[in-house]
Amino acid sequence: MSDLLSRRVFLTSTAVGVAATRARDIAFPMRPARPLPPASRWASKPVAVASANGLRAVQKAFDMLMQGADTLDAAIEGVKIQELDPNDDSVGYGGLPNADGVVQLDASCMHGPTKRAGAVGALEGIKTPSEVAKLVLKYTNHIFLVGEGAKRFALQYGFKEEDLLTAHAREVWLHWRANLNPDDDYLDVPEAERMSTRPTGTINCDVVTPQGDISSVTTTSGLAFKIPGRVGDSPIIGAGQYTDNAIGAAGSTGRGESNIKVCGGFLTVEFMRRGMKPTDACLETLKRVVQLTEPRLLGPDGRPPFSLNFYAVNKRGEFGAASLYPGRFAAHDGAEAKLRDTAFLYERPAASR
């Protein structure tokens, strides 16, 4: 282990009281924080990996790992930063709404040490669906709750129902609706103000502790202006994320429907089980996506025009990410939290660079 990590462990191991205090601030923790073993006895290199919007998430998650926090607690406290950020219109509070102007959120998580999973879909009125997914994992014999039932479940545990549609998200939705059909009752917005895309966005975070325990979480507001009730890959165990504590974890952001068809989170972990490094496993999963993409969704060059990204960590703390086209991801490998380039299958067309 590096001198940096050894010094970090020494300092944090002598601050158990501080760690325990911070653990008490976590809602429904999987377990209390506990001292880390000496660096010489670490089973894995600790790491936190996330999508490109997760720079703050990996910093938070890694700091918590060094305080002895549970692997899933660290991952969820990381992604909550984006869920609570009204300026991230792809996740949680501030997420872009469905076609009716209602924000519906999805999330799932897996806890490697206990081999448990939890998920919520089409959840309305709750800012942090990742926390609700953890409650499903921790306190029920179920895995997936949806819609009104998921909201009632969250309210029973003290979550506050709130209006998630921010002024920015409302304005974006109104612009989209105004230009949806030139023959409807809404006046078109001037060309200069028109939206040209249907934004997608998500945050995935995968974490490995020094003890070699692994967890993953994915949370999203889903495809903007989706059909009400649409659920993408994020809350689907094995698609939006997947963890096997003996092997590793993987998650995804991008076009959910394409990921669901290949069970991309699960498939990436299976490629690592066969001996592939995380980056190679992510690339192999993307190749499977392309193979199973319907012709109607391919461009004239035979390539998918949509976005899809995979992120992965293995038991040793090795990590990587890959995307259809050049992209970035966030990682904290013990030195610093920073954005890195993904591996990719295709160069972007010259017109879109």
State the average pLDDT over residues 1-7: 46
Question: For residue 142, how many other CB atoms are within 10 A of its CB?
Answer: 12
Please give the pLDDT value at position 14: 38
State the average pLDDT over residues 292-304: 94
Ranges 197-201, 231-235, 266-270: which has the least confidence: 197-201
Nearest CA to 74 out of 34, 43, 37, 38 is that of 34
Please give the pLDDT value at position 17: 40
* Percent of the residues in the chain that have a pLDDT greater than 90, as a whole number: 83
Phi/psi for 242 (5° steps) reads -160, 140
* Sign of the torsion angle spanned by Cα atoms 253, 318, 56, 108: positive
Summarised one tens digit per residue, pLDDT across range 43-90 is 999 999 999 999 999 999 999 999 999 999 999 999 999 999 999 999
CA pair distance 76, 228, nearest whole angstrom:
26
Please give the pLDDT value at position 247: 98
197 CB contacts (<8 Å, ≥6 apart)? none
Summarised one tens digit per residue, pLDDT across range 100-136 is 999 999 999 999 999 999 999 999 999 999 999 999 9
Phi/psi for 69 (5° steps) reads -70, 160
In DSSP terms, which residues pair with 321 in a beta bridge? 311
Distances, alpha carbon 25 to alpha carbons 58, 113, 253, in Å: 19, 22, 29
Contact between residue 206 and residue 250 where contact means Cβ atoms under 8 Å apart? yes
Q: How confident is the model at residue 1 (pLDDT cuts 50, 70, 90)?
A: very low
Crossing angle of helices 71-83 and 129-139, in 10° steps, is 150
CATH of domain 3-323: 3.60.20.30
| Residue 197 is among the residues annotated as catalytic for this protein | yes
Distances, alpha carbon 82 to alpha carbons 55, 136, 265, in Å: 10, 21, 21
59 CB contacts (<8 Å, ≥6 apart)? 48, 78, 332, 337
Q: Could you tell me the strand order of the sheet in which 47-51 lies?
A: 144-146, 116-123, 105-111, 214-220, 203-208, 47-51, 328-332, 337-341
The single residue of 21, 114, 197, 219 carrying the catalytic annotation is: 197
State the average pLDDT over residues 234-254: 98
